[in-house]
Amino acid sequence: MTDATPEQQPSYEEAREELIEVVRTLEAGGTTLEESLALWERGEALAKVCQQWLDGARKRLDDAMGAEDSD
């Protein structure tokens, strides 16, 4: 998924929930430019984790459907 080891990699649900909080914080405003940039970077990383989970799930489904088709 990312460079993180599986023990460090958040689940899809964990990453999505944290991403929601990041977005809420950014939308609420009141953070410094530096804090906003750090939040934005964290959000980008979390979005990447979520996309990797979704891509992996899609591949598993495609593989399963392919196995069914060959039976």
* pLDDT > 80? residue 22: yes
Say if residues 48 and 9 touch (Cβ distance below 8 Å): no
Selected from 1.10.287, 2.60.40, 3.30.70, 1.10.3470, the CATH number assigned to the domain covering 12-70 reads 1.10.287
- pLDDT of 10 over the 70 cut: yes
57 burial (CB, 10 Å; 0-12 / 13-18 / 19+) is: exposed
What is the structure's pLDDT at 30? 96
Give the contacts of 18 (CB within 8 A, at least 6 positions apart). Answer: 10, 42, 46
- The kind and range of the H/E element at 17 are helix 12-28
Q: For residues 37 and 8, which has the higher predicted lDDT (pLDDT)?
A: 37
Confidence of residue 69 (pLDDT cuts 50, 70, 90): confident
